[in-house]
Amino acid sequence: MILVTGGAGFIGSNFVLDWLAVQDEPVLNLDKLTYAGNLENLAALQGDARHVFVQGDIGDPALVRTLLAKHEPRAVLNFAAESHVDRSIHAPGTFIDTNVVGTFRLLDEVRAYWSELPPAQKEAFRFLHVSTDEVYGSLAPADPAFGEQNRYEPNSPYSASKAASDHMVRAYHHTYGLPVLTTNCSNNYGPFHFPEKLIPLVIVNALAGKPLPVYGDGQQIRDWLYVGDHCSAIRRVLEAGRVGETYNVGGWNEKPNLDIVRTICALLDELRPRADGRRYAEQVAFVKDRPGHDRRYAIDARKIERELGWKPAETFETGIRKTVQWYLAHADWVQRVQSGAYRDWIAQQYAAA
């Protein structure tokens, strides 16, 4: 069995679904079910004995200790995190609580569990920590992409909290010998993405006839990674990654935000034309840029390809088409996740300048 934390969130739920689609090893899924954690993401596993769900907090040492003792996982994969930059600007304390303190408490319980394992199980055990490219800061237009040796220069409370968690994971390896692996990924997109992030927000707002908010001039560049590719990368790192190493996971898809929005609009024009015959791109609305907005991220994913033979299967063109088609086919899912509190948040965050 493996223990997955944050397995009801966007990336975590995709990983659990993908894991059980390709193998039968059971998953113990621990998720706090905050606003972005959604058991409906895992509806396909209802009644599946290979999936054991527990609602709880990685920062609850007694709960984690009990679960480790009872289920004896061979690996822990830590997806649990607060992950939205905008929310971290408004409420940084929550990010410190989950991403820093929560990760520390999880690590400490895992270390205690691991230290008591029989020698063969101890040798085979892994703690895989899922992180972000945002810990590296921002790139100038001509800078090379982020490599694993880049200096950490986080610029938001979110990225600073993830940087702190990465350092804690590293320290537990070097101090205690805990066999850890860390992945730093670029921007994910795909099914079950909570509609506060750029791609799902644009899809949902476009279909609802609402403005499509674009920060500043829309020329912020990100490297886009289809979530299914990210899941396959994590499986590969868990399988064969070198203990103590970091692997950057990217999609080789650097795109300005405005290009992303226009691509989605063009796909919707094709797949779900507006009743009035107008183009979705007419709904684009430029809004005041957020504080400290990083200009460019890009991932150099050559190490994971060189050492582990992994590279993304999707191009941006194939991945974004799959994503738009998924949202068109799952309007009921979108409607249920859009609570009143969520609508209030979007109204506050994307008020026109």
> Taking residues 330-349, what's their average pLDDT?
69
Catalytic residue among 136, 158, 189, 350: 158
* Domain total of the chain: 1
Tell me, yes or no, whether 52 lies in a domain: yes
- Specify whether the CB–CB gap between 257 and 198 falls below 8 A: yes
Tell me, yes or no, whether 271 lies in a domain: no
Percent of the chain residues past pLDDT 90, beyond the cut: 87
- Whether 305 is catalytic: no
Distance, CA of 200 to CA of 160 (rounded, Å) = 25
> Taking residues 329-352, what's their average pLDDT?
67
Catalytic residue among 86, 109, 133, 254: 133
- Whether 245 is catalytic: no
Residue with tokens 């993304």: 312
Residue 34 — very low, low, confident or very high, per pLDDT cuts 50/70/90?
Answer: confident
> What does the block give as tokens for 95?
């990010």
Written as one string, the DSSP assignment of 15-84 is HHHHHHHH----EEEEE---TT--GGGGGGGTT-TTEEEEE--TT-HHHHHHHHHHH--SEEEE------
> What does the block give as tokens for 30?
């621990």
- Specify whether the CB–CB gap between 12 and 31 falls below 8 A: yes
CATH code of the domain in which 9 resides: 3.40.50.720
> Taking residues 270-282, what's their average pLDDT?
97
> Taking residues 7-15, what's their average pLDDT?
97
Tell me, yes or no, whether 323 lies in a domain: no
Per-residue pLDDT at 69 exceeds 70: yes
pLDDT, tens only, 282-325? 999 999 988 878 899 999 999 999 999 999 999 999 999 999 99
Tell me, yes or no, whether 131 lies in a domain: yes
Tell me, yes or no, whether 78 lies in a domain: yes
Percent of the chain residues past pLDDT 70, beyond the cut: 95
Catalytic residue among 57, 86, 134, 196: 134
Tell me, yes or no, whether 160 lies in a domain: yes
pLDDT, tens only, 187-212? 999 999 988 789 999 999 999 999 99
Mean pLDDT score across all residues of the chain: 93
- Specify whether the CB–CB gap between 39 and 53 falls below 8 A: yes
Per-residue pLDDT at 139 exceeds 50: yes
> Taking residues 119-129, what's their average pLDDT?
98
- Whether 134 is catalytic: yes
At 187 the pLDDT is 94
Q: Domain limits at 35?
A: 2-192+226-254+296-314
Tell me, yes or no, whether 135 lies in a domain: yes
pLDDT, tens only, 222-265? 999 999 999 999 999 999 999 999 999 999 999 999 999 999 99
